Amino acid sequence: MPHLMIDNRKVEVADGETILDAAKKLRIEIPTMCFLEGVRANASCMLCVVKVEGLAGLVPACATLARDGMKVQTDTDEIRTARTDALELLLSDHLGDCVATCQSACPAGLNIPLVLRQIAAGQTGDADGASEIPCDDCPAPCERACRRKQFDSPVSIRALMQYAAAAGLVVQPSGPDNRRRFSVHIGRLQEGEIEQFLAGTNRGGRIEPSDDGLTEDQARDEARRCMHCDCRKADACKLRYYAELYGAKARRYKGERRSFVQNREHPDVIYEPGKCIACGLCVRIAEDAREELGLTFIGRGFDVRVTVPFDRSIAEGLKTTALQCAAACPTGALSQR
Amino acid sequence: MNQADLTFVDGLIERIGQNPDAVIPILQAIQEHYRYLPREVLERVCEISEITPARIEGVATFYTQFRHRPAGEHTIRVCVGTACHVQGAGAVHDGFCRHLDIPPDDDTDAAGVFTVEKVACLGCCSLAPVVQIGDVTYGHLSGDTAADAVRDFLNLQSRRVHRKARPVEPGAEVGEIRISLDTCCIARGCGAVYEALCEAVARSGARASVKRVGCTGMSYITPLVEVVLPGLPPSLYAGVKPEDAEAIVLRHFRPGGIMRKIKTSASHILENILTDDAWEPVTRYSTDVREAIISEFTGPQKRIATEQAGSADPADLDEYISGGGFEALRKCTDELSPEQVIDEITRSGLRGRGGAGFVTGLKWLHVRQAHGEKKYIICNGDEGDPGAFMDRLLLESQPYRIIEGVVIAAYAVGADEGIFYIRAEYPLAIKRMTDAIEQCRQRNLLGPKLRLRIVPGAGAFVCGEETALIASIEGRRGMPRPRPPYPAQSGLNGKPTLVNNTETFSMVPWIIRNGAGAFSDTGTDLSKGTKVFALAGRVVRGGLVEVPMGITIHEIVEQIGGGIIDSKAFKAVQIGGPSGGCIPASLADTPIDYESLVGVGAFMGSGGLVVLDETDCMVDIARYFLAFTQDQSCGKCTFCRIGTRQMLDILNRICSGEGRGDDLERLEHLAGAVGKSSLCGLGKSAPNPVISTLRYFRDEYEAHLAGVCPAGVCKDLIKYVITDDCIGCTLCAQHCPADAIEMKPHEKHEIDVEKCIRCGTCMRVCPADAIKVE
Ligand SMILES: Cc1cc2nc3c(=O)[nH]c(=O)nc-3n(C[C@H](O)[C@H](O)[C@H](O)COP(=O)(O)O)c2cc1C
Ligand code: SF4
Ligand code: SF4
Ligand code: SF4
Ligand code: FES
Ligand code: FES
C-alpha cells in the first residue's frame, strides 16, 4: 500500500492506483480530458500533468502509478503553464466554431441554432409561457452573419425567433460567456465545405414572413434551412471549459487549416473529425463493448485520425455505443444529433 | 477474392497464427507477397482469425513499412540518413523522381516499374549519398547520376546470371583469405570479389580457404581482403575488385594440381606485373599502405563489444567457440550464482548503450527481484537513429556473441523467453541471427528452458522506446505508455521484462570473461568501458569505431577520422542523432561520457556521430532532425504530436526566409514545453537538436531571419551564379535537369534563377570551378 504526498498532504492508496486516484482521495482536483472513470487510461491530452519529485519533466497523473514515497505537486506555475501550452496546442488543430456566426453576431447572444433545431423538430412549448425577446427592435445582424447566404440567402432568423417566442419555446443565451470561441475558426467556408453543411438541410430558398409572421409549416421549413454550423457540445466541451479556465489563447499557434468535415451518416451522432483531439476514448469504449467494427486510429503522428476500419460508415462502426461515445467525447467531435 | 488469394491467406494464418499478436508478421507476409496490403486480403484475415478490423487497420497504418497502394516492381530506397542528408540525399531523391517522372504526391512511376522510397541510414554512410535499387547498392550518387544508376540496374537485371563458385576441398588449406561480407561491404561489391576469390582459388588449386568475416569497421576502404598465412604477418588489400582476385591468390599461394605447371609460368608473369609500377590496382592497395592508415585508424580504439568483428566467420559457431566463445556463459552457470553474475556486471560499471545510460546491473537486479514466475528478456535491435548502424554490424558480424550475452542475462534475471527485436530493414542481421539461434539450440547452448525468437520491427523509430517496443511485439500500434511501471516490473504481457540494447549485451561476455575490473579500468569515473560509434559525415575515414569512454571529440575526429575532407574547417559534431545535439568545434575537448555530453547539451544516444564542417548549415541540421522526429511521432500525446509540428513549421519558415521576428522565442518556448511534458523519450528529446544549435549557433538562425544562409545550403535563400571563370564548355547546360542554362558554346553561360531548382548539378560538372553559391 503506497503512501505518498500530494501538495504536501499525506495519502495512502491501493496497489495499482494512479496519482489521479490518490489526488481524488484528497479532493484535489486535477483537470482531465482523455481520462474517463471506468475506461483504461490512455495518457494523451497531457492536461493532467503533475510534477513528481525526482522525475524529469512532468508526468500525466491519470496514468502514472502512485509509488511509495512519491512527492507530487499538482498546481504550480510550471504546471499551469504546461497545461495552458497543451490547451493552446490542441486548439491550434481544433477546427470548428464553438458558437455559430449568427449567435456571435447577436447582441443578446441568443442560442439561435438550438432554437432552430427545436422548431425544425416540430417541438412546441407552453404557449402561455411566451418569452420576451429583444428581436422586434433589432436590425438582425444575425442574418447578415448567417452562413447560409454563401449558398443562397440567409435564414429568416428574426422571424423564426419571434415564432419560437410566441410558441413558448425557451429562447435564451447559452452559457456564462457564450460567445467566446476556442478553436480554429472555420471562417469563410472553403470549396467543398458548404456541401458538408448543406447535407440534410432544406435546399429551398428563403421564406419571407408575412406581416403575421411565419405559419407553423413555414417555420419548420425555414428552420430546416439552418446548416447548424455551431458546435453541439459548446456547453459541455471540456476543451472549451479548460481553455477558458486556464486563459488559453486559441490563436497562439497557427497551423494550416484543415478542411472542415461533418459526417452525418449515423442516425444518432454527428462526427466532426476536425474537432477530434485524438484522446482515444471512443476507440476504447467501442473496443471494450466489442463492437464488431468499432473505431480505430489510423496513421501516425500529426496525421493520426479516428475512423471506422475499412472505410465503413460510422453507422456500421458504432452500432451499440454511439451515444456512449458521444457523451464521453471531451469535445464536439462526436456529438449527439 | 480469387481462390489463389484465399489459399494464400488461409495458409498464412495457419502458418503464422491467428492471435492478435501475430498481426505484424501476418501483414509483413502479405506485403511481401503482394508488394502492398490489399483491402480484401485484410478483410479475409479478420474473418478467419482473432484479429479485429480495428486492430489490423490501426497497425497497418502505423508502421511505415506497410503500403496501401501497389508498389512498383523494384524499390529504389534513397537513404536520407544523417550522413547522406548532409551530402545531398535530398537532391538525389529529387533526381530519381525527376528521371522517372514521378509527381510529388506519388512514389511510383507510371509504368509501375520503380517505387522511390526514403529510408533512414542503410548502414554504408561512408558511401553517402547511398541508394539501394532492389538488392544493388549505389554510392556517391548525385541528382544527375540518378539516371545512370537506374540504367545500370536495368542493365544488370537483363544479364543477371548466377555464378556458383566451386567449394574448396576441406582439409587442404594452409592459408586463409578473409573478406568482410556485411551489407555495406556487399554493397561495395564484396560479394563479387568473394565469388571471384573462390573461383581463383578453385581454378589454381591453391591451398587456401576463402572466408567471410564480419565487418572490420573500416568501411571506407572495403572491399577489404586479408590474406593470412601461418607464421607470416597478414597482408591486407583494400578496394579490391573482382579482377584483382586471381593476382592476389597467385601472389600468396602456390598453385597445386594439374594446372600447376601452366599456372606457375602464368604466375611468373603475374609476379612481374605485380612489381611493375604501371599496374596500379594491387600495388596501390598493398600492405605498406595499410600500415599507415590502419594503425591510426585503430590506434586509439579499444575493442570490447566488437572484439571478434572482422576476424571470425559470423556464421561459424565452432570458430566462435574456439575463440573463447560461450566460456563466459559456462563460467556463469558453473561457477556463479545469478546474484554473483549481476554483482559482477554491477561492479563493471556497465551502463546501457541504448541511449539513456541506465546502470545495467541495477536493471538486472530489478528484474531478478520482480515477482512472477514468467519473465522475458528483450534485445533491442531497433536502432532507429537515422545516422547509426552499429547494432546492425554487431548483429551481422557477431551473432553468437550477442546470443551469449542474452543467455547470460537470462540466467541472471531468471527469464525463460528471449526476443530479439530487429528492424525489418536489416534482413541480413535477421537471417544471421535466425541461423545462429538455431545453431545454438541444436548444440544445446541455450540451456534446458530458454526459448529465443526474433521479432522483426516494421518501421517506426518510436518502437526503439521500450514500452512502444513491447506494444509492437504484442501486435499493437507502437505507442508508448507512461512509466512507472517500468518493464522490469510490468513489461511484455504484463510480466517482468528486461530490455537492453544490443551493444549492451555484446559487452557482457567480455566482462564475465575478463572480469569487472578489466572493464572498469577503461573509461571515466561514471562511464566505464568503451562505446561504439558510427563515425560519418565530413571526415576522411568513416566507419564503425569503438573507443574508450573519456576520449575527446577532437581525438575521434582527427586521429580516427583523419580530419576533415578537403581540409575544410571543422564546425561541429552531431552526437546522439534525433535525441542528441550538436557540439561546436570550440568544445572539441569535451570527453565522450554520459554526463559530459549532457553537460554540453548533447546526448550519448545510440552512437551516431556525424562530423560537420563549414559547408553545413546548422539550422538545416536542426530542421532535418526535427522533421525526422516529427514524422516519427506516434501521435499519442499533445506535446509531441502538435508541438513538434509547430516547431517544424517555424523551422521551415526560417529556412525558407520567411521567419518572423519572434520566431526564435516561440521556438524556444515550444522546445521547452515539448521537452518537459511529452509522454515518452521521443518527444522529450526531440527538441534537443534545436536547443543545442540555438545555444551554439544562434547567429546562424539570426542570419536566416535576415535572409541569408551562411553555409549556402537552404535552397530558398541561395542562388547559383556563373563567374567569369566560365570557359564556355556547355557542360553545365547539358546537365542541368531544369533547363535553366542556355547552351552558348565558347561564351560565358548564365543561370536562369527562375528555372533553377538548386540541385547543384552544374557546380559539380563544371570543370573550371566557375559556379558559386550566393
Ligand atoms: C524514441 C526512442 C528511441 C529509442 N531507440 C532505441 C534503439 O533504437 N535501440 C535501443 O537499444 N534503445 C533505444 N531506446 C532506449 C530504450 O527505450 C531502452 O532504454 C533501451 O533499449 C534500454 O537498453 P539499455 O539499458 O541497454 O540502454 C530508445 C528510446 C526512445 C525514447
Ligand atoms: S434578431 Fe434576434 S436573434 Fe437576431 S441578432 Fe437580433 S436579437 Fe439576436
Ligand atoms: S472523437 Fe472525441 S472521444 Fe473520440 S478520440 Fe476524438 S476527441 Fe476523443
Ligand atoms: S512523446 Fe511522441 S512518440 Fe512519445 S507518446 Fe507522445 S506522441 Fe507518442
Ligand atoms: S487526462 Fe491524463 S493525459 Fe489526458
Ligand atoms: S547510409 Fe545513408 S546515412 Fe548511413
Q: Are residues B86 and B117 in the same domain?
A: yes
User: B233 falls in which pLDDT band (50, 70, 90)?
Assistant: low
Alpha helices in B456-611 (DSSP H): 466-473, 502-514, 516-520, 553-555, 594-599
DSSP-derived 3-state class of residue A311: helix
Q: Residues 220 to 279 of A: which have CB under 8 A from any B CB? A: 253, 255, 277-278
Residue B699's CATH number:
3.10.20.600
Which amino acid belongs to residue B4? A
Long-range contacts of B42-47 (CB under 8 A, 24+ apart): B42/A310, B43/A310, B44/B1, B44/B5, B44/B6, B44/B9, B45/B9, B45/B12, B45/B13
Model confidence over B560-612: pLDDT tens digits?
888 998 889 999 999 988 999 999 999 999 999 999 999 998 888 888 899 99
State which of B76, B117, B118, B121 you would mutate to test the pocket of ligand 6, scoring each by most atoms of that ligand within 8 A of its C-beta: B121
CATH no. for A3-75: 3.10.20.740
Which amino acid belongs to residue A76? T
Contact A89 B637 (CB under 8 A): no
Report the run of H or E that residue B624 belongs to, with start and end. Answer: helix B618-632
Contact B638 A298 (CB under 8 A): no
Residue pair A266/A333 in contact by the 8 Å Cβ criterion: no
Strand partners, A172: none
Is A263 or B176 the better-scoring residue by pLDDT?
A263
Instruction: Write out the DSSP string of B126-150.
Output: GG-S-EEETTEEE-S--GGGHHHHH
B312 assigned to some structural domain: no
Residue B32: phi, psi to the nearest 5? -65, -35
Q: What pLDDT, on the 0 to 100 scale, is given for residue A277?
A: 95
Alpha carbons within 13 angstroms on the beta-carbon side of residue B164 total 2
Residues flanking ligand 6, CB < 6 Å: B 79, 81-84, 121-125, 128, 130, 387
Q: Extract the runs of DSSP E, i.e. beta strands, from B428-519.
A: 451-457, 497-501
Q: State the pTM of this model.
A: 0.85
Residue B84's CATH number:
3.40.30.10
The mean of the pLDDT values for chain B is 85
Q: What pLDDT, on the 0 to 100 scale, is given for residue A201?
A: 87
Find the CB nearest A59 among B477, B482, B673.
Answer: B482
Q: Are residues B388 and B268 in the same domain?
A: no
Q: What percent of chain A has pLDDT over 90?
A: 58
Q: Are residues B435 and B572 in the same domain?
A: no
Of residues B120, B95, B117, the one with CA closest to residue B108: B117
B525 assigned to some structural domain: no
Size of interface A-B (CB pairs under 8 A): 137
Domain carrying residue B444? 317-520
Is A259 or B743 the better-scoring residue by pLDDT?
B743
Which candidate in A34, A46, A284 is best for mutational testing of the B interface (most B CBs within 10 A)? A46
Domain boundary residue, one of B60, B86, B106: B60
- Contact of A287 with chain B, judged by CB distance below 8 Å, is answered with yes
Model confidence over B331-383: pLDDT tens digits?
999 999 999 999 999 999 999 999 889 999 999 999 999 999 999 999 999 98
The boundaries of every CATH 3.30.70.20 domain in chain A are 258-336
Residues in A closer than 8 angstroms to B52, CB to CB, are: 287, 294, 309
Calpha distance A43→B683 (Å, rounded)? 14
To 10 degrees, what angle do helices B502-514 and B338-348 make?
A: 100
Q: What pLDDT, on the 0 to 100 scale, is given for residue A329?
A: 97
Calpha distance B239→B252 (Å, rounded)? 18
**What is the arithmetic mean of pLDDT over B391-402?**
90
Residue pair B282/B233 in contact by the 8 Å Cβ criterion: no
Strand partners, B76: B116, B133
Residue pair B379/B406 in contact by the 8 Å Cβ criterion: yes
In this predicted structure, the answer to whether residue B7 has a pLDDT above a threshold of 80 is: yes
Domain count, chain B: 6
Residue B723's CATH number:
3.30.70.20
Q: What percent of chain B has pLDDT over 70?
A: 87
In this predicted structure, the answer to whether residue B203 has a pLDDT above a threshold of 90 is: no
Of residues B755, B727, B723, the one with CA closest to residue B739: B755
Calpha distance A131→A166 (Å, rounded)? 7
Is A114 or B669 the better-scoring residue by pLDDT?
B669
- Grid coordinates standing for A320? 451499440
Q: Are residues B411 and B437 in the same domain?
A: yes
B164 assigned to some structural domain: no
User: Among B209-213, B442-446, B565-569, which stretch is predicted with the lowest mean pLDDT?
Assistant: B209-213
- Contact of A1 with chain B, judged by CB distance below 8 Å, is answered with no
Calpha distance B327→B348 (Å, rounded)? 18
Q: Are residues B272 and B359 in the same domain?
A: no
Which residue bears the cell 537552404? B714
State the greatest distance between any 2 C-alpha atoms of chain A, in Å, as a whole number. Answer: 75
In this predicted structure, the answer to whether residue A269 has a pLDDT above a threshold of 90 is: yes
- Name A63's Cβ contacts closer than 8 Å, sequence gap at least 6: A18, A35, A41, A42, A43, B481, B482
B309 assigned to some structural domain: no
Q: What pLDDT, on the 0 to 100 scale, is given for residue B119?
A: 87
Of residues B231, B519, B481, the one with CA closest to residue B361: B519
Q: What pLDDT, on the 0 to 100 scale, is given for residue B178?
A: 80
Find the CB nearest B642 among A43, A65, A93.
Answer: A93
User: A181 falls in which pLDDT band (50, 70, 90)?
Assistant: low
Which amino acid belongs to residue B248? I
In this predicted structure, the answer to whether residue B260 has a pLDDT above a threshold of 70 is: no
B496 assigned to some structural domain: yes
DSSP-derived 3-state class of residue B572: strand
Residues in A closer than 8 angstroms to B61, CB to CB, are: 297-300
Which amino acid belongs to residue B734? Q
- For residue B632, give the chain A residue with the closest CA: A301
Report the run of H or E that residue B342 belongs to, with start and end. Answer: helix B338-348
User: Among A196-200, B75-79, B407-411, B701-705, which stretch is predicted with the lowest mean pLDDT?
Assistant: A196-200
Q: Are residues B697 and B759 in the same domain?
A: no
Q: What pLDDT, on the 0 to 100 scale, is given for residue B165?
A: 37
Does residue B234 have a cis peptide bond before it, meaning omega lies within 30 degrees of 0? no
d(CA B712, ligand 6 centre) in Å: 22
Q: What pLDDT, on the 0 to 100 scale, is given for residue B179?
A: 81
The boundaries of every CATH 3.10.20.740 domain in chain A are 3-75
The mean of the pLDDT values for chain A is 89
Find the CB nearest B673 among A45, A85, A283.
Answer: A85
Is B188 or A218 the better-scoring residue by pLDDT?
A218
Contact B460 A300 (CB under 8 A): yes
Calpha distance A146→B272 (Å, rounded)? 95
User: B764 falls in which pLDDT band (50, 70, 90)?
Assistant: confident
**What is the arithmetic mean of pLDDT over A257-277?**
89
Instruction: Write out the DSSP string of B106-129.
Output: --B-TTSSEEEEEES--S-GGG-S
Residue count of chain B, please give it: 774
Alpha carbons within 13 angstroms on the beta-carbon side of residue A97 total 22
Calpha distance B102→B75 (Å, rounded)? 13
ipTM above 0.95 for this complex: no
User: Among A219-223, B227-231, B340-344, which stretch is predicted with the lowest mean pLDDT?
Assistant: B227-231
Calpha distance A312→A222 (Å, rounded)? 33
To 10 degrees, what angle do helices B53-60 and B39-48 make?
A: 140
DSSP-derived 3-state class of residue B158: helix
Calpha distance B398→A178 (Å, rounded)? 67
Strand partners, B533: B545
User: Among A236-250, B67-81, B169-183, which stretch is predicted with the lowest mean pLDDT?
Assistant: B169-183
Q: What pLDDT, on the 0 to 100 scale, is given for residue B689?
A: 95
What is the number of other CB atoms lying within 10 angstroms of the CB of residue B353?
Answer: 28
Of residues B374, B383, B406, B408, the one with CA closest to residue B490: B374
In this predicted structure, the answer to whether residue B243 has a pLDDT above a threshold of 50 is: yes
Q: What pLDDT, on the 0 to 100 scale, is given for residue B161?
A: 47
Residue A335: phi, psi to the nearest 5? -140, 155
Q: What pLDDT, on the 0 to 100 scale, is given for residue B588?
A: 94
Q: Are residues B50 and B91 in the same domain?
A: no
Calpha distance B411→B414 (Å, rounded)? 5
Residue B325's CATH number:
3.40.50.11540
Classify residue B574 by burial, with Cβ atoms within 10 Å: 0-12, 13-18, 19+.
buried
- Name B566's Cβ contacts closer than 8 Å, sequence gap at least 6: none
d(CA B123, ligand 2 centre) in Å: 68
B169 assigned to some structural domain: no
Which amino acid belongs to residue B762? C
Q: Are residues B362 and B451 in the same domain?
A: yes
**What is the arithmetic mean of pLDDT over A265-286?**
94
In this predicted structure, the answer to whether residue B483 has a pLDDT above a threshold of 60 is: yes
B137 assigned to some structural domain: yes
State which of A270, A324, A334, A336 you would mutate to test the pocket of ligand 3, scoring each by most atoms of that ligand within 8 A of its C-beta: A334
**What is the arithmetic mean of pLDDT over B20-30?**
94
DSSP-derived 3-state class of residue A294: coil
Q: Are residues B339 and B277 in the same domain?
A: no
Residue pair B51/B33 in contact by the 8 Å Cβ criterion: no
Domain boundary residue, one of B111, B128, B158: B158
**What is the arithmetic mean of pLDDT over B100-113?**
92
Model confidence over A89-134: pLDDT tens digits?
999 998 888 888 898 888 888 889 989 989 998 887 776 666 778 8
In this predicted structure, the answer to whether residue B451 has a pLDDT above a threshold of 50 is: yes
In this predicted structure, the answer to whether residue A299 has a pLDDT above a threshold of 90 is: yes
DSSP-derived 3-state class of residue A81: helix
The correct CATH number of A258-336 out of 1.10.645.10, 3.40.50.300, 3.30.1330.40, 3.30.70.20 is 3.30.70.20
User: Among A182-186, B611-615, B658-662, which stretch is predicted with the lowest mean pLDDT?
Assistant: A182-186
- Name B615's Cβ contacts closer than 8 Å, sequence gap at least 6: B538, B568, B711, B712, B713
In this predicted structure, the answer to whether residue A171 has a pLDDT above a threshold of 90 is: no
Spatial strand order of the sheet with A59-60 comes to: A9-12, A3-6, A71-73, A49-52, A59-60
- Grid coordinates standing for B267? 604466375
Q: Are residues B624 and B666 in the same domain?
A: yes
d(CA B639, ligand 6 centre) in Å: 29
Calpha distance A300→B472 (Å, rounded)? 14
User: Among A256-270, B117-131, B538-552, B718-732, which stretch is predicted with the lowest mean pLDDT?
Assistant: B117-131
